[in-house]
Amino acid sequence: MIPVAVTNAFNAQLNREMYSSYFYLALSAYGESLGLRGIAKWFMVKHQEELTHAMKFYRYLVGRRPPSRLGEIAAPPSEFGGVVNAFEQTLAHERQVTGVSTGSWTSRGITAITPARSSSIGSSPSRSRRRRWSATSSTGFGLSATVAKAFT
């Protein structure tokens, strides 16, 4: 069973990834409203990327059957004050999320998340590779398994 601290950290990260996905979806809609299809498409790609990250945390948690604690996802802004400001808000958001994520793991006693091994999926070299990660807590508890990160 996953320790409560790790489950809570994963649930919090899942929520942050979902908010990020929602944030980028709002930015995509903003780009569309300005008739800037390229910018809208770029933010839509970021939306999909963040949703993929969230689903990796979700699948990890569901696969281990801890209590489900899906939290409320805050509404992102709907106005961004121009394209340059939208990108500045994106940079600020990424910096904030990265700082919170790093602090979130260490404050819960997780001292390291490192690659455990990598292996090819399927026989085709063009298929993606997955890396399995191992997390170690300050109590010595080790997690190895699917905090999976896809490689192409």
Question: For the chain, which residues make up each domain, given as ranges?
Answer: 1-108, 109-152
- The pairs formed by 25-34 with CB atoms below 8 angstroms and a separation of 24 or more are 25/76, 26/76, 26/77, 26/78, 27/76, 27/80, 27/86, 27/90, 29/78, 30/78, 30/79, 30/80, 30/86, 31/83, 31/86, 34/83
Residue 109's pLDDT is: 57
Please tell me the predicted confidence (pLDDT) of residue 2: 75
pLDDT at 5: 83
The residues facing 144 across adjacent strands are: 134
Residue ranges of the chain whose pLDDT lies below 50:
112-152
CATH architecture of 1-108: Up-down Bundle (1.20)
pLDDT digits (tens, 9 = 90+) for 55-84: 998 888 888 776 667 889 999 999 999 999
pLDDT value of residue 99: 78
Instruction: Give me the pLDDT at residue 102, please.
Output: 59
Position 32 scores a pLDDT of 97
Predicted TM-score (pTM) of the model is: 0.66
What are the DSSP calls for 37-60, one per residue? HHHHHHHHHHHHHHHHHHHHHHHH
